[in-house]
Structure 1
Amino acid sequence: MARSLHQQKQPIYGAVSLFSRHGFLVLLGLLVFLGVILPWFGISSDVFVRKNALSKWRDYDLPDAAAFVGGSSGNGTVIVCIVSYPYMDFLKNWLISVASFGHAGKVLVVAEDYETLEYVNRRWPGHSVLIPPALENVGGIAHKFGSQGFFNFTSRRPKHLLQLLELGYNVMYNDVDMVWLSDPFPYFKGNHDVYFLDDMPKVKPLNHPHDLPPPGKKGRTYICSCMIFLRPTYGAKLIMKKWIEELQDQPWSRAKRANDQPAFNWGLNKTSGIVDMYLLPQVAFPSGGLYFKNETWLNETKGKHVIVHNNYITGFEKKIKRFHDFGLWLVDEHSNKSPLQK
């Protein structure tokens, strides 16, 4: 029996033309899905683009990153900070102060998690690198000082710095709970192997010696591991190696909630006769225990401070409040100066 006219005109589904009414409806539905349904579930429509961009930076290694910020010749300077995502606001604040003195281009953010790697490189391409393994952030909560997570985070530091020294770069390390009030580079005068600052709040005379201070009650010095300048010399590399050894000999335990600073000091003490060390002037590089807690000293030395460290206090909110109280929280009014705003 011959097919009816109606039967002969049945459409063949699966071969839909975009120019047909049905094809237009399919395309419209897809656009609605990408623009409305995915965001409703918290999925951005650019998720696939972001995924491809992130995979690019996962292959980015330290030599490439150092060459990008410090120069391909290997004799430039790299300013290093090591950051996990919960510290992002402090990174922004620190970067604004660094940028104010024209040194932001030298900054390399060593990301300890993929969130930080992606965030920085999406806004400031090439200025962040991740050295595996990546840190696992649980719920975006920062590791508390004295915890095993904090120890694991900070104990990787000398390995990163040593690798940069082996590549031939001068290296300046900063914690991101610092603020620059002046350009620190004129203070790295001479050709010393390592430059560091005293972490004690006791006031020193303005013309204090620049040698390694004498040991304290625990038999070691109290030098801060949070601001260091290193030249790519045998002596600087030796200190990093000793720091790594001391961290391995003094691992974290529940009974002994270690951090990286005592190991750094033991490394300095054990190489003091071999390495050319330079203690930076206290008036320019004060500890938080001095700058924030000695009002008389602060007023007497006004205008002489270079880098301020917000230590001798724990907790994000407390640190931010103290920065606010002293006019050092810059992200609210000066965010346009941050490289991460690009």
Structure 2
Amino acid sequence: MLVGKRPYHILDYLERGKNIVYIDTDTVWLQAPFQYFTGDYDLWVQMEHQGSYCTGLMAIRTRPNTLELIRTWRERMIDIDNKKNDQDGFNDIVRNFSSNVRIKGLDTKRFPDGYQYFEKYNDKQRKDVVVVHNNWIIGHGKKLGRFKDMKLWIHYRGREIETV
């Protein structure tokens, strides 16, 4: 599974000196997010509505301290038990990490999780959203239905674009 291996893939690019933006495939960009990755930070990470980091949307600068953090995350994934996923491992590591990694939690008004966007936000609040992350629901069919219900699914047919 790709998301379970994300620290491996992220580290591969960071070790080559590349700054990266990692984003899960169950997202829709309503605006370009790059203008929000500013300031003297090492990582910018989406926040879950309950206050933890969501590893489904991260921008990461290649720096020694971020390399150390991602390496620690990767090593943690080797030892992680079945009750925790890679995101839980990331949050555990960040809480206990001794290095000086500066993490910016992205504004949930602009980068909400799926629960916030689909269940809590009204149309006015949704107009300020930059990236819609269709998490907090399990199953391809359910995610697709939720995207379609909110007119966020575009179907390509040859040269034609159809909003479904």
Shared topology, TM-score over 0.5? yes
| Residue 124 (structure 2) pairs with residue 305 (structure 1) | no
* Aligned-pair CA distance for 1:265: 0.8
SS at match of 2:155: coil
Identity %: 33
Tell me which residue corresponds to 1:227: 57
CA 251–302 in structure 1, closer or farther in 2 if over 3 Å, else same: closer
Q: How far apart, CA to CA, are the structure 2 residues paired with 1:316 and 1:289?
A: 16
CA 154–302 in structure 1, closer or farther in 2 if over 3 Å, else same: closer
SS at match of 2:122: helix
| Residue 26 (structure 2) pairs with residue 177 (structure 1) | yes
Letter in 1 for 2:105: L
Question: What are the residue-to-residue correspondences of 1:63-74 with 2, within 5 Å?
Answer: none
Tell me which residue corresponds to 1:260: 86
Q: How far apart, CA to CA, are the structure 2 residues paired with 1:334 and 1:299?
A: 32
Tell me which residue corresponds to 1:292: 118
Tell me which stretches of 4 or more aligned residues in structure 1 moved more than 3 Å: 332-337
Task: Decide which structure has the larger Cα Rg and report it.
Answer: 1
Letter in 1 for 2:20: V
Query: CA-to-partner distance for each residue in 1:22-43, whole Å, 9 max, x for gaps?
Result: xxxxxxxxxxxxxxxxxxxxxx
Unaligned runs of 5+ in 2: none
Larger RCO: 1 or 2 (CA < 8 Å, sep 6+): 2
Tell me which residue corresponds to 1:197: 46
Unaligned runs of 5+ in 1: 1-149, 203-212, 214-221, 338-342
Query: CA-to-partner distance for each residue in 1:220-239, whole Å, 9 max, x for gaps?
Result: xx210100100011122122
Q: How far apart, CA to CA, are the structure 2 residues paired with 1:288 and 1:335?
A: 30
CA 229–306 in structure 1, closer or farther in 2 if over 3 Å, else same: same
CA 273–237 in structure 1, closer or farther in 2 if over 3 Å, else same: closer
Tell me which residue corresponds to 2:78: 248
Letter in 2 for 1:162: L
Tell me which residue corresponds to 1:274: 100
Q: Does the 8 Å CA contact 2:65/2:99 hold for their aligned counterparts? A: no
* Aligned-pair CA distance for 1:336: 5.1
| Residue 154 (structure 2) pairs with residue 324 (structure 1) | no
Question: What are the residue-to-residue correspondences of 1:95-114 with 2, within 5 Å?
Answer: none
CA 285–333 in structure 1, closer or farther in 2 if over 3 Å, else same: farther
Q: How far apart, CA to CA, are the structure 1 residues paired with 2:39 and 2:80?
A: 34
* Aligned-pair CA distance for 1:330: 1.1
Letter in 1 for 2:38: K
| 1:283 paired residue among 109, 120, 127 | 109
Question: What are the residue-to-residue correspondences of 1:99-178 with 2, within 5 Å?
Answer: 150=1, 153-178=2-27
* TM superposition score normalised by structure 2: 0.88
Q: Does the 8 Å CA contact 1:194/1:228 hold for their aligned counterparts? A: yes
Query: CA-to-partner distance for each residue in 1:266-318, whole Å, 9 max, x for gaps?
Result: 12112266211111111110000100001xx3334242100010011111111
* TM superposition score normalised by structure 1: 0.44
Q: Which has the higher strand share?
A: 2
SS at match of 1:196: strand
Q: How far apart, CA to CA, are the structure 1 residues paired with 2:45 and 2:20?
A: 12
Letter in 1 for 2:30: L
